Structure 1
Amino acid sequence: MEFNKKIDEMKEELVKATQEVVKIKSTQDDGKAGMPFGEGVGKTLDKALEIAADLGFDTYKEEDGYYGYAEYGEGKDYVAVLGHMDVVPEGDNWIHPPYGAEIHEGKIFGRGTLDDKGPTIAALFGLKAIKDLKIPLSKKVRVIFGTNEETGSSEMHVYNKKEKAPVSGFTPDAMYPLINAEKGIRRFHVVKKLSPCNCGIAIKSLKGGIRPNMVPDKCETVIVTKDTENIVKAVKEFADKKGYNMKAEIVNDNVVLHLFGVGAHGSMPELGKNAVMQTFDFLGTVAKGSCPLADYINFFNKYIGFETEGTSLGIACEDEPSGKLSLNVGVAEINEEMANLWIDIRYPVTMKGEKIMDTLSKKFGECGAKIERVEADEPLYFPEDSKLVKVLLKVYTEQTGKEGKAYGIGGGTYAKELPNIIGFGPIFPGKPDLDHQANEYIEIEDLIMNAKIYAHTIYELAK
């Protein structure tokens, strides 16, 4: 079978198609008719379906615009490739335009090149190779274009109500060689009502972070105080002592504190520098005495601080398939009446999320805070001897020449949203994980290799 040769012949077409979808900004926005997650997401879905139709595939778009897919082959059962066309916000500090899809040094730069637009288009071209070579299959193949993976995957709730489940498949929303264990997730708000304080300061506003599954890279705080000059001085001294990237200015008799950290994916918070918790670290030095605000800040400094495994909260745990629990304070919003943190926890596949939440509820109650708006995502686990794991690792080993081994991650790939799906690529071992980070890119060579691996994988699952 000449899959690889055929994909090499389509290289320019594959690169161009990837650029076309990356150039459309598809962060979630206000919904409208036929575009439930905003115009940008809707246009990207339409573009992906247009590309699929031009490649000769049958296409379908859900009547309300929640999802679409391209199909090839016959049969009652189908193999699925599940990718998403929505992206997280671009953030700052890009060296190339985040929606320019520009090529520099053999890399396509842009939000979504790696997560998930580029590899989903690569899978589509892998299926195109099978189609053009007229390779017979026993099952239908469906490349699904999702639209809401980054902010809840609610489009897949619609999909699962309307569509039959696939018999097997994968999502290019993870890493190679293969992800067979994905931690459970709990996202929730920790809320406390505040009252006038006598701790020397008041927080008029504190805002940091944009998504719970991202380590916040900046936080801005407006501090009300009668001692503005000394607070500004304290900021400089604290920055020098700690090495934090922070600065303060006096605006309308208030101190405005700007703190800049380093973003990272919420499943690996240890790779970032949390701007919210660095801000709390400073505020703990200027909020004197005991009051609702100071108690809240001091509690989080004591029991979370810069820990990312939940040790001081009493929830640290780990297992063999998926590793240690992780904890990320992803979003913070405080004013003079309310303190609200949005926390993202990823827990091992053999642990119980309910038990962890019970422990946290009791712990947060010690500072008068309570947990609200819990979002639950259960663990996913495919044993290493399962057929799907064996097939995908076989293809990976044959195509890369490197032995493939399954391993666990912090959870949250798209595989959890559809039965019988496993996380497979697109990031190769030793390559940087740039999901949700500035200057996201995919190497063109890796894009092509993904298409080759996915072509062989689709064939093995559907032959």
Structure 2
Amino acid sequence: MNFLEQVKQYEEQFLSDLKGLIAIPSLENFDTATEGAPFGVDVREALDYMLNLGREAGFEVIDYDGYAGAIVYGEGSESIGMLGHLDVVPFGEGWSKEATDMQIHDGYIFGRGVLDDKGPTMAAFYAMKLLKDNGTKLDKKLILILGTNEETGMRCMDYYKEHGEIPTAGFTPDADFPVIYGEKGHLGVVISSKEPTVIKSMKAGERPNIVIGKAAAELPKMSQEDIDLFKYYLKVNHLKGEIYHNDDSDTIEIEGKYFHAAMAYNGINAAVHVLNFVGATYDDKLAQQLSVLLDDWKGSGFGIDMEGGYMGFLTMNTGIVEVNNGETTVTIDIRYPNITDGDALIAKMKDALAASTVKIEMVSADDSVPLFVDPDSKLVKTLEQSYREYSGDYTTPNKTIGGGTYARKFDNFVAFGPEFPQHEETSFFVGGPHEKDEGVKIESLMKAVAIYAKAAQDLAK
């Protein structure tokens, strides 16, 4: 059965269904949380949307109290899982298109979630639909698990694991092709200080897992020399920024570049630049020390820079910076290789804070251990073969990543697509996950449907 040929007839309906899902701004919002909608009504609406598609297609659907949902095909004592998430990150600024109005341009679709992770989740659903429409008989049931809280803690999967069926094996369509058999550990750290600073107030960053793309800080009235130094700082660092004059203060604003924290090296952290400028210009000891600690995305400021054989180098992202009522708080996102562990990193960071020139304390640390599945396992080899058969790519190796996916929540799970390694040049900007103008090629998503159908069929035999 050639799934790649068959999937063409589904493209129009696929795009229509995805457009409806993208239109739902499924951001976590506890202000609207209720029973059955633990992460807010918009996320709940997205879950209902997918469950309704499942019902209409004739699948069994299960609602796990709004934390998660499941679309089920087939029977059997064992099951194969596909894990997708329906929540998205904040839209950010700088979009040339409406983030919730999916648009098509020159073979690409744009909108928040088309790549992370609504588009891939829809691809997994259509893979199940393709199998069902063909009357494919499987020895194991297929379960498409729909999460609602992946971007902000994965508590949805904790709830599902307590109440739902745990698949024997499976994958999440939330990364790259070929197969992602390992994910770096994920350490979230919050540091805080009550040391004096000239910064009157500051609130930069929306989520720890996003490089801060724009940051502003309220300062005392700036002298002409300070203003000139700010303009010079922007110029030598190839940045854009503004000064907003208030009655008794001035606010500086710097534009950086939003990016996923797992690849912080591709972003430009505007908040770190603000701290660096303030520290140098005003001889602000706290800002200076924070700049030393936070400047290097490899974590050398804390003495935690390292590189592992399988997973590469550690990455560190400054995700949120707040100055309020005399207290400065910084939230840090660290992705580390499996040559170390969270305890060792925390110890090194505490040593660096103890040796700093001002008093800064670690307030909290939350650790998620690395994921590693044998690259020669049946799961990895089966998925790899499905990819190679329909992509024609026999050279790109399987790999590990710094991103954290649902795969780390289950045994014998990996991340699998939907991004292909071959990226063509376009005359227009196509953003990636967590970026403005998030986009993906339609042909790539439809090819992913075929790959997922083949993989699910082979795993469920």
TM-score bin (small chain): over 0.9
Aligned partner letter, 1:188:
V
Aligned equivalent of 2:192: 191
Aligned equivalent of 1:346: 335
Aligned equivalent of 1:18: 18
Aligned equivalent of 1:216: 212
User: What is the total number of aligned residue pairs between the two structures?
Assistant: 450
Aligned equivalent of 1:291: none
Separation in structure 2 between the aligned mates of residue 368 and residue 430 of structure 1, nearest angstrom: 48
Q: Any conservation in 1 of the 2:119–2:445 contact (CA below 8 Å)?
A: yes
Separation in structure 2 between the aligned mates of residue 182 and residue 279 of structure 1, nearest angstrom: 31
| TM-score normalized by the length of structure 2 | 0.95
Aligned equivalent of 1:377: 368
Aligned equivalent of 1:35: 37
Q: Deviations over 1:75-134 (max 9, x none)?
A: 121100000000000111111110001111111210000001111111111111111111
Q: Any conservation in 1 of the 2:114–2:440 contact (CA below 8 Å)?
A: yes
Q: Any conservation in 2 of the 1:228–1:255 contact (CA below 8 Å)?
A: no
Q: Deviations over 1:352-389 (max 9, x none)?
A: 22101100012112331111232211100112111111
Separation in structure 1 between the aligned mates of residue 233 and residue 141 of structure 2, nearest angstrom: 61
1:4 has 2:7 as partner = no
Aligned equivalent of 1:387: 378
Aligned equivalent of 2:61: 59
Q: Deviations over 1:212-268 (max 9, x none)?
A: 11100000110024x544432322232223322122122122011011101111001
The structure-2 alpha-carbon separation of the partners of 1:453 and 1:433, relative to structure 1 and needing over 3 Å to count, comes to: farther
Q: How big is the alpha-carbon RMSD for the aligned residues of Structure 1 and Structure 2?
A: 1.5
Structure 1 residue runs of 5 or longer lacking an equivalent are 289-293
Equivalent of residue 427 in structure 1, options 419, 430, 438: 419
1:335 has 2:335 as partner = no
Aligned equivalent of 2:434: 436
Aligned partner letter, 1:244:
L
Q: Any conservation in 2 of the 1:166–1:420 contact (CA below 8 Å)?
A: no
Q: Deviations over 1:261-312 (max 9, x none)?
A: 0111100111011101111121012222xxxxx322111222332x111123
Aligned equivalent of 1:179: 180
Q: Any conservation in 2 of the 1:228–1:254 contact (CA below 8 Å)?
A: no
Q: Tell me by how many angstroms 1:411 deviates.
A: 3.1
Separation in structure 2 between the aligned mates of residue 304 and residue 315 of structure 1, nearest angstrom: 12
Which stretches of structure 1, 4 residues or longer, exceed 4 Å deviation after superposition?
A: none
Aligned equivalent of 2:244: 249
1:69 has 2:51 as partner = no
Q: Deviations over 1:27-60 (max 9, x none)?
A: 1112122111111100000001111111111111
Separation in structure 1 between the aligned mates of residue 235 and residue 111 of structure 2, nearest angstrom: 35
Aligned equivalent of 2:52: 50
Structure 2 residue runs of 5 or longer lacking an equivalent are 424-429
Q: Any conservation in 2 of the 1:3–1:130 contact (CA below 8 Å)?
A: no
Separation in structure 2 between the aligned mates of residue 240 and residue 456 of structure 1, nearest angstrom: 52
Separation in structure 2 between the aligned mates of residue 303 and residue 20 of structure 1, nearest angstrom: 44
Alignment of 1:53-452 (within 5 A): 53-62=55-64, 64-195=65-196, 202-225=198-221, 227-288=222-283, 294-305=284-295, 307-365=296-354, 366=356, 367-403=358-394, 404-431=396-423, 434-452=432-450
Q: Tell me by how many angstroms 1:203 deviates.
A: 1.4
Q: Any conservation in 2 of the 1:194–1:336 contact (CA below 8 Å)?
A: no
Separation in structure 1 between the aligned mates of residue 317 and residue 433 of structure 2, nearest angstrom: 16
Aligned partner letter, 1:446:
S
Aligned partner letter, 1:107:
Y
